[in-house]
A = this chain, B = another copy of it.
Amino acid sequence: MPEKSTGPGSGHGPAAGLPGEYGRYGDLLQPALEALLPSGEGFAGPVVEAMRYSLLAPGKRIRPVLTMVSAELAGGDPASVIEAAAAVEMIHTASLILDDLPCMDNAGLRRGREALHRHTDEATAVLAADALLMQAFALLGAAVAKAGLAPGEAGRLVKAAADCVGVPGMIGGQYKDLHPENTDFDSLEYVHSHKTGALFTLSATLGARLSGAGQRVLECLEAYAKNLGLAFQIVDDILDARASSRELGKDVRTDTNRATFVTMFGERHARTVAAELIETAKVSLEPFGDKARLLLQLADFVYQRKK
């Protein structure tokens, strides 16, 4: 059961390749992901089974770790935001299931496993993706209730999460990604800031907001996450251009019409841009001093990762 493995050195566990200190977040997260799935009572068992298949597949878990670390940075307890951390991983997993659908990228491999629509069927995959989105919002509702936020802040936080996934965020980015005609730098940056940057930013601020962080802390985390997200995507493009599907555990894009940072700038320049973004992300954390150690390590991991 590789999905149960949480050790940083296991090589195929959920936190594979992440710095050693992240082990304790993985230890919190992995059982929580399983426990926070809805129950499969009634006739909906196979939908929950499909959610579990995709959610518990080995993943890097960067987004939920961001949520837990940001809570700690704001003086909170990582365990107290575990529902929100699970929620962002559910949102991310839902987006992967939908991206892989036959009507989207028609991908067969994801996180080293058959894509969900092939493992089960297309209707179940669509329902499981939407059910993961809904469970994420159920958990966010529970999280804002538990955190005892002021009603205005509770509502704004829910709205920010919905806008992150919706047209102003990931769905807008996915639409443009599916329609790559006339792609220039601006539209490529639009795709990635919407598909990847939006959820990185939500993840990195959610824990802090639930822990009562002030505006200054949130602005630093937003700047960090935005640059980290774009760097993550550029590294993705570089890995896609070099590696095989087996190494990445997902289909490598064969659509040569699709512009990437590598096709646009060449690999060497793309890597320079990624390095600059990582540096900018790190600079945003200066006000936190040594407290930002884990986020600095995460930035290095994003730059150096091999899958």
Evaluate contact between B171 and A130: CB separation under 8 angstroms.
Answer: yes
Cα–Cα, bound, A149→B162 (Å): 19
Tell me whether B43 and A187 are in contact (CB under 8 A): yes
CB distance from A38 to the nearest CB of B (A): 4
Q: Does A176 sit at the interface, judged by CB under 8 A?
A: yes
Q: Closest Cβ of chain B: how far from A52's Cβ, in Å?
A: 11
In the complex, residue of chain B having the shortest beta-carbon distance to the beta carbon of A174: B127
B158 touches A140 (CB 8 A): yes
CA distance A155 to B163 in the complex (A): 17
Question: Is the C-beta of A242 less than 8 angstroms from some C-beta in chain B?
Answer: no
State how many copies of this chain the complex holds: 2
* Contact status A38-B168, CB under 8 Å: yes
Encode contact with B along A230-244: 1 for CB under 8 Å, 0 otherwise: 000000000000000
- A179 part of interface (Cβ distance < 8 Å): yes
Contact call A123/B103, Cβ cutoff below 8 A: yes
State whether B43 touches A131 (Cβ < 8 A). Answer: no
Residue from B124, B157, B166 in contact with A131 in the complex, judged by beta carbons closer than 8 Å: B166
Majority SS at the chain A contact face: helix
Residue of B whose beta carbon sits closest to that of A132: B166
Residue of B nearest to A117 (CB): B103
In the assembly, what is the distance between CA of A147 and CA of B134, in Å? 23
Bound complex: CA of A153 vs CA of B44, how far in Å? 28
Q: In the complex, what residues of B have CB within 8 A of residue A116's CB?
A: none
- Cβ contact within 8 Å between A134 and B163: yes
Task: Given A127-B171, A166-B134, answer yes or no on A155-B176 (Cβ-Cβ < 8 Å).
Answer: no
In whole angstroms, how far apart are the Cα atoms of A150 and B60 in the complex?
36
Best-surrounded residue of A143, A144, A162 (most CB of chain B within 10 A):
A162
Report B-chain residues with C-beta under 8 Å of the C-beta of A214.
none
- The chain B residue sitting closest to A194, CB to CB, is B42
Do the beta carbons of A135 and B167 come within 8 Å of each other? yes
A42 engages B172 (CB within 8 Å): yes
Q: Given A121-B103, A146-B155, A187-B43, A175 and B127 touching (CB < 8 A)?
A: yes
Contact call B154/A138, Cβ cutoff below 8 A: no
Q: Can you identify 26 A-B contacts, CB atoms within 8 angstroms? A: A38-B166, A40-B167, A41-B168, A44-B171, A44-B176, A46-B175, A101-B126, A103-B123, A124-B175, A130-B130, A130-B133, A130-B165, A133-B133, A133-B134, A134-B163, A137-B137, A137-B158, A138-B158, A140-B158, A141-B161, A144-B151, A144-B158, A145-B154, A148-B151, A149-B154, A150-B151
Closest 7 pairs between A and B when the two form their complex, measured CB to CB: A145-B155, A134-B166, A141-B159, A141-B158, A44-B172, A137-B162, A103-B122
